[in-house]
Amino acid sequence: MPLTTERFQAFCQSEALKAQAIFIMGDLFEFWVGDDAHLQSSYHQYIGQILHQLSSHGVKLYFMAGNRDFMLGEEFASLANWVTIPDPSIVKIAGKNVLLAHGDSLCTDDWGYQLFRSFNRLEWLQKSFLQLPVSWRHKFGSHLRNNSTIKYKKRQALLLKQENQAVDRKGDVTLAACDQMTTQHQCDLLIHGHTHRPGKHTESLNGHSWQRWVLSDWDLDQSIEQSRANMIRINATGIAAIDLT
């Protein structure tokens, strides 16, 4: 994704420099099958160096893993010079408590995925996986990535035809999961990505309400009409979604 990569570099060297802190909300990479498998690639080295450069200007970097790069480890973290934070996390930004989540754990209508997620987060399973040869892991990672792209494209096609409401629901967060997370963490401002449905929502369930901001994914390697990349900026004047295409 050369154009997307180029925009990310420009972002790190312009917009991001104005911030005190940057929170990367996961799925920075298409897939990650262990630091040793990626740190030999010049591409991943390069991304790490761009981030390191940004942090050397005094911008604090935080990373929350997504469903594609949850195996990102300490080696890359020290290359990028970021602090890894758990999913979800509460952070205080410009005096506001903000609940940050990648978003996949909120898609509770997709129980098949949730089952897969509960398996792949097991520490012993990850450790055994990392024992496999790098080439096997790469094959496995790209296989999963391709499957998920096919699933996503099918979902988008059905959405266009508006034929299948159930498929539509599986790709989005549920009201119940958002209610549960915001209640548990006593925070009524939730920010996540993952669903590819950028927006701002005011939602409520049983008299409890919260605000939910959704980030877009980044893909500038599509046609101009389909290009997308945004960020959410929080400062003393409030919260704003900013288009970066």
- Burial (0-12, 13-18, 19+ Cβ within 10 Å), 65: buried
Please identify, among the stretches 35-43, 66-74, 112-120, 227-235, the one whose residues bind Mn ion according to the rule CB under 5 A: 66-74
Of 38 and 59, which has the nearer Cβ to Mn ion? 38
Rounded to the nearest whole angstrom, what is the least distance from the CB of residue 245 to Mn ion in the complex? 20
170 counts as binding Mn ion under rule CB under 5 A: no
Q: Which of residues 103-132 bind Mn ion (CB under 5 A)?
A: none
Binder among 8, 22, 23, 27 for Mn ion (CB under 5 A): 27
67 vs 182, which CB is nearer to Mn ion?
Answer: 67
Is 67 an interacting residue with respect to Mn ion (CB under 5 A)? yes
Our finding on whether 69 is near Mn ion (CB under 5 A) is no
In the bound state with Mn ion, the residue whose beta carbon lies nearer, of 28 and 59, is 28
Tokens of 237: 């004047």
Where is 98: in which H helix or E strand? strand 96-100
- Phi, psi at 189, each rounded to 5°: -125, 110
Among 28, 32, 33, 66, binds Mn ion (CB under 5 A): 66
User: 7 vs 194, which CB is nearer to Mn ion?
Assistant: 194
The stretch among 58-66, 120-128, 200-208, 224-232 that binds Mn ion (CB under 5 A) is: 58-66
Beta bridge partners of 202: 211
Q: Are 87 and 101 in contact (CB under 8 A)?
A: yes
Stretch that binds Mn ion, among 22-30, 145-153, 184-192, 206-214 (CB under 5 A): 22-30
Closest separation between CB of residue 206 and Mn ion, Å? 28
Per the omega criterion (within 30 degrees of 0), is the bond before 198 cis? no
CB of 236 to Mn ion, least distance (A): 30
Could you tell me the strand order of the sheet in which 21-24 lies? 21-24, 60-63, 83-84
Least spacing, CB of residue 72 vs Mn ion, in Å: 13
- Please choose, from the candidates 28, 29, 8, 11, the residue with its C-alpha nearest in 3D space to the C-alpha of residue 19: 11
Report the distance separating Cα 225 and Cα 99, nearest Å.
31
3-state SS, residue 67: coil
Smallest CA-to-CA distance from 222 within 241, 196, 242 is with 196
Map the footprint of Mn ion across residues 181-200, applying CB under 5 A: 194
Integer Cα distance of 215 and 231 in angstroms: 7
Q: Least Å distance between CB 196 and Mn ion?
A: 9
What is the helix (H) or strand (E) element at residue 83, kind and residue range?
Answer: strand 83-84
Binding interface with Mn ion (CB under 5 A) = 27, 66-67, 194
